[in-house]
Amino acid sequence: MAKSTLRKSLSHPGLLKAVRKEFEAIPETKPTAAISLTDHLMSGLAVFSLKCPSLLQFDNDRNTDITRHNLRSLYGIERAPCDTYLRERLDTVEPRVLRKAFKKAFSLLQRGKGLEGFTCLDGHYLLSVDGTGYFSSNRVHCAHCCEKHHRDGHTSYYHQLLGAVLVHPGHREVFPLAPEPILKDDGASKNDCERNAAKRLLTDLRREHPHLKLIVVEDSLASNGPHIRLLQDLNLRFILGAKQSDHQYLFQWVNSSKQTQSYAYTDESGTHQRFRFLNGVPLNDASHDLEVNFIEYWETSTSGKIQHFAWVTDLTLKTTSLMPLMRAGRARWRVENETYNTLKNQGYHFEHNFGHGYKHLSTVIAYLMMLAFLLDQIQQRCCGLFQRAMKKEKRHLYFWQRVRALFLNCLIANWQALYQNIAEGIQPQSVPYFDTS
Ligand SMILES: [Zn+2]
């Protein structure tokens, strides 16, 4: 399907309608309240969809005739709560119940053929898994904060999130699946760790997507026996970083084997690429029976700059698979560059403290932000009108500023009218009411 065609299910109204339906299925946490849980969740989503810098800003904005109208026409919100109520209610929401909204958006993307051209290495999707911190304080904390006890006696509190993002070496867009928080469980004395979170994340993911052909790409911390056995148990392929300092046994084996092969190539730009590889190498002394395939890569630019990478994988290595495998391994960085950096620096305010809460607020906010980002990424890849509107504003931040300015100042009938206005460069004061009907 041509990229410029508007696919209804993959444009903002279709996606928001589907997400709203999933929110409506979540049991009410406060059945007698005047404002529904769905309106609270949709308001939380709208905060990040509209790139509001704070919940207080959303509170200040929500009560004009224009914004009340627009929250209803664009997000289906009957009544938006004040920031205090919004924090209080979101704090009661168990974050796991939001997983279904991610799954729904992903299945729409898949069914709408939005993932065409996103596979590599025999029809697999690449799933980059990596953690990031998004909250740290010496004072503010909740029941689930991880704790760090410092030598001078003070304690710092922090939250981290493990993200799982579909990436492709040839595409800028990334598609996050439901993330997994790295937290302290109720009553637990020890902090959670990234490895435990990865186990929960990958097990849930496999249950929700039992047939998805996936290659997990991770850094060298994941190249350990227990984690690789988990990946094998879950029928997940892998390309994992390998560092000589952490895998001396593996590197010595490769150095001394007579079967180790080399391959070199200089492309038309003059960049020199060199590989060496070996199938069936024991991972380490402790996991001698666990065999992996080893690939090492050096890239020398015309200026003489050398980049070096090494990975272990369960994909069989042969000369023809080296290039795509190297590109797939390097696409791991997209979870950092295209996901976390975008969330931190491109309008979503990932590291801003939107409120911490006592139970779940901090995690629910991170989930809603990631969900808003997923819907934006789907539009960016699949909605021609969105692409035209974004192109008009040239930079993502300018585009979001324009969306917010129109949201605050003009009555907007629907998303199509909003994006059309931006794409066609109509000044807001000349069209106080946008309607395409
Ligand atoms: Zn906390």
Instruction: Write out pLDDT tens, residues 35-78.
Output: 999 999 999 999 999 999 888 888 888 889 999 999 999 999 99
pLDDT tens track for 161-202: 999 999 999 998 999 999 999 987 655 656 668 888 999 999
Q: What are the tokens at 195?
A: 């490895």
- 100, 204 contact by CB (below 8 A): no
Instruction: Band the pLDDT of 2: cuts 50, 70, 90.
Output: very low
pLDDT tens track for 285-322: 887 899 999 999 999 999 999 999 999 999 999 999 99
- 374, 367 contact by CB (below 8 A): no
Residue 120 forms beta bridges with which residues? 124
Burial class (CB in 10 A: 0-12, 13-18, 19+), 19: buried
Quick check: 436 pLDDT over 70? no
pTM of the full structure: 0.92
d(CA 157, ligand 1 centre) in Å: 7
d(CA 130, ligand 1 centre) in Å: 20
d(CA 180, ligand 1 centre) in Å: 15
d(CA 362, ligand 1 centre) in Å: 7
d(CA 261, ligand 1 centre) in Å: 50
- What is the percent of the chain where pLDDT is above 90? 73
- What is the percent of the chain where pLDDT is above 70? 94
Sole residue written with tokens 């867009």? 173
Helices (H) and strands (E) in the chain, counts: 16, 13
What value, to the nearest 5°, has the Cα angle with vertex 224 and ends 207 and 215?
A: 45
d(CA 137, ligand 1 centre) in Å: 9
d(CA 53, ligand 1 centre) in Å: 20
d(CA 285, ligand 1 centre) in Å: 39
Q: How far is CA 98 from CA 39, 333, 346, 362, 363, in A?
A: 14, 26, 24, 14, 11
What value, to the nearest 5°, has the Cα angle with vertex 333 and ends 219 and 282?
A: 25
How much is the pLDDT for 432?
56
d(CA 57, ligand 1 centre) in Å: 22
Instruction: Band the pLDDT of 431: cuts 50, 70, 90.
Output: very low
How much is the pLDDT for 286?
84
How many Cβ atoms sit within 10 Å of the Cβ of residue 275?
20
* CA-wise closest residue to 353 among 136, 47, 177, 65: 136
Distance CA 81, CA 49 (A): 16
d(CA 158, ligand 1 centre) in Å: 6
d(CA 242, ligand 1 centre) in Å: 33
d(CA 52, ligand 1 centre) in Å: 22
Kindly give the interhelix angle for 83-90 and 361-382, rounded to the nearest 10 degrees.
100
Kindly give the interhelix angle for 12-24 and 361-382, rounded to the nearest 10 degrees.
150
d(CA 119, ligand 1 centre) in Å: 37
d(CA 144, ligand 1 centre) in Å: 5
d(CA 215, ligand 1 centre) in Å: 32
d(CA 146, ligand 1 centre) in Å: 7
d(CA 139, ligand 1 centre) in Å: 10
- 270, 302 contact by CB (below 8 A): yes
pLDDT tens track for 91-124: 999 999 999 999 999 999 999 999 999 999 999 9
d(CA 315, ligand 1 centre) in Å: 40
pLDDT tens track for 328-364: 999 998 878 788 888 888 888 887 878 899 999 999 9
d(CA 156, ligand 1 centre) in Å: 11
Distance CA 22, CA 258 (A): 57
d(CA 95, ligand 1 centre) in Å: 13
d(CA 134, ligand 1 centre) in Å: 11
Kindly give the interhelix angle for 37-49 and 361-382, rounded to the nearest 10 degrees.
60
